[in-house]
Amino acid sequence: MHLNPVGIKVEKPPTSVDISDELLAEIIVRKLSSGYENPKRIIYEQQPLDTTKIVVKIDDYIRDSSNSSKNPSTIKSESAFKTQNYCKNGIHNPLTKHSEEEIRELHPSAGAKKRVKIKKSIKDNKTGNKAN
């Protein structure tokens, strides 16, 4: 039996020494490093201990941990592409989550004077007049 990712190689002793499978399983579980606390707990809950159960549980744990390490990176990259809508130059963007009145409360420095100037310049650009 090989547990290469864990760093354990288990060989049954010669036939002259009789070690029960349960005792061998107990020794293997105790030799696992602290990084394997979760599978240790699961293995101890499933009595009687068996070497094949240990191998299966550790393989499952390694497989699950390698799959879970892939998922957060995709979530991070998806959130990086997420865009947010903002109001610009004192003009309310209707795609934002706040109303036009709330923009005045959030940004009083933008003020009504600035909005009037911007709206006037937009209006002049549409009609072809130049603002002085």
Buried-state track 16-39, b at ≥16 Cβ within 10 A, e below 16: eeeeeeeebbbebbeebeeebeeb
Q: Among the three residues 41, 64, 80, which one is the final residue of a domain in this structure? A: 80
Residue among 76, 77, 89 at smallest CA distance from 115: 89
Q: Within this chain, do residues 76 and 89 fall inside the same structural domain, yes or no?
A: no
Q: Within this chain, do residues 28 and 93 fall inside the same structural domain, yes or no?
A: no
Largest CA distance in the chain: 105
What's the whole-model pTM score?
A: 0.38
26, pLDDT greater than 80: yes
Q: Within this chain, do residues 38 and 91 fall inside the same structural domain, yes or no?
A: no
pLDDT-based confidence at 94, cuts 50/70/90? confident
Backbone angles phi, psi at 9, to 5 degrees: -120, 120
Q: Within this chain, do residues 7 and 42 fall inside the same structural domain, yes or no?
A: yes
Q: Within this chain, do residues 56 and 43 fall inside the same structural domain, yes or no?
A: yes
Q: Residue 116's domain spans which residues?
A: 83-132
Q: Within this chain, do residues 95 and 70 fall inside the same structural domain, yes or no?
A: no
Question: Mean pLDDT across the stretch 83-104?
Answer: 73
Structural domain count, the chain? 2
